[in-house]
Amino acid sequence: HLNRRVISKRMQAASSESPETFTQAELEAYFTRIGYAGPREPTLETLNAIIFAHITSIPFENLDMAMGVRYHAWPRDSYRKIVQRGRGGYCFEQNGMLFALLQTAGFTVQLTMCRARFNRPPGFIGGRSHGVVIVIFDGREYLVDCAFGGCSLMCAMPIEEGEYATPEGPHRLVRENTSLVHQALLGTWTDLYLIDDVRAETLPCDLDFHHWYTSTSPQAMLWGRLIVAMPNRHGGRTTLVNTELKQRGADGRAVVRVLASMGELLAALRDCFHIDLPADTVFVNPALF
């Protein structure tokens, strides 16, 4: 395989106009987008502060899929959408962009692909359909995942067997043969995805390749459903699945409302997720209006 030093040098040699790299000015614009004004040194503490600011400012969303829009998931395409246009995105968009931005910030990073298992039968093995970031500190690898729907990680997690506290509750990695399964405590321990080879390095072009399948195949997890989710800075999370809006407070209590019209849906996107779509927006998702 290509080792991470080769990939890092390749990325650093790319021009600032590349779809894979960003300038310091673009990094600062990203920090403004997420409201981050903390230290810039590439430490674990800085990384966790960036992750928290990112995930509470940028919603997970697949609205373009629900609108039938075909688009690319290169880091620079995602940057234009998320930072410059104030939108959100799903894993290939958010984590791919974050990978390139963290590299600009001086972190040692790589991308890898995982096998999504959420809402699948126990032991399910599917294709690699979820992209995550790995950040390395002194040889120790940490999982960074700002875009797994309602179960995104709000801090970096060591890629080692064990249970870890996060701002939204416990997560853990458990051994399954030669792989690790990422689980979240959602009443019971629930499989999210399988990490079966963190050294199988992924390039940004690979994300765009996998994104095409994920955004167009009826067999893909996100196809045919509208999903938007974002945690709150003071606890709780707001989630929209098709027309069901769930607002869970820091105390764990949830208020659920079914949106009855396109006007209510657009208002919820604007008021709950800060996504302002035009009044003439049309969704092709058959589960909507």
Which portions of the chain are predicted below pLDDT 50?
1-17
* pLDDT at site 18: 58
Tokens of 51: 């992750």
Give the closest residue to 45 by CA, choosing from 133, 135, 151, 148: 135
Residues 258 and 246: beta-carbon distance below 8 Å: no
Q: What are phi and psi of 265, to 5 degrees?
A: -65, -45
Q: What is the pTM of this model?
A: 0.90
pLDDT at 286: 72
Q: What is the pLDDT of residues 88-127, one digit of tens each?
A: 999 999 999 999 999 999 999 999 999 999 988 888 888 8
Tokens 């992209």, residue located: 131
Q: Are 37 and 140 in contact (CB under 8 A)?
A: no
The answer to whether the beta carbons of residues 258 and 243 sit under 8 Å apart is: yes
Phi and psi angles of residue 245, each rounded to the nearest 5 degrees, phi first: -105, 120
- Length of the chain, in residues: 289
The residue type at 251: D
pLDDT number for residue 19: 58
Residue 2: its pLDDT value, please? 37
Which residue from 131, 116, 114 is spatially nearest to 209, judged by alpha carbons? 131
How far is residue 264 from each of residues 67, 225, 270, 271, 274, measured CA to CA in Å?
17, 17, 10, 10, 14
Q: What angle do CA 18, 22, 28 make, to 5 degrees?
A: 160
Under 8 Å between Cβ of 101 and 19: no
- 190 closest CA partner among 95, 133, 243, 120: 120
Q: What is the distance, to the nearest Å, from the Cα of residue 158 to the centroid of all Cα atoms in its chain?
A: 17
Classify the C-alpha dihedral 93-94-95-98 as positive or negative.
positive
- CA angle centred on 251, ends 249 and 257, rounded to 5°: 35
Gap between the Cα atoms of 194 and 120, Å rounded: 12
Question: Which residues are registered as beta bridge partners of 164?
Answer: 171
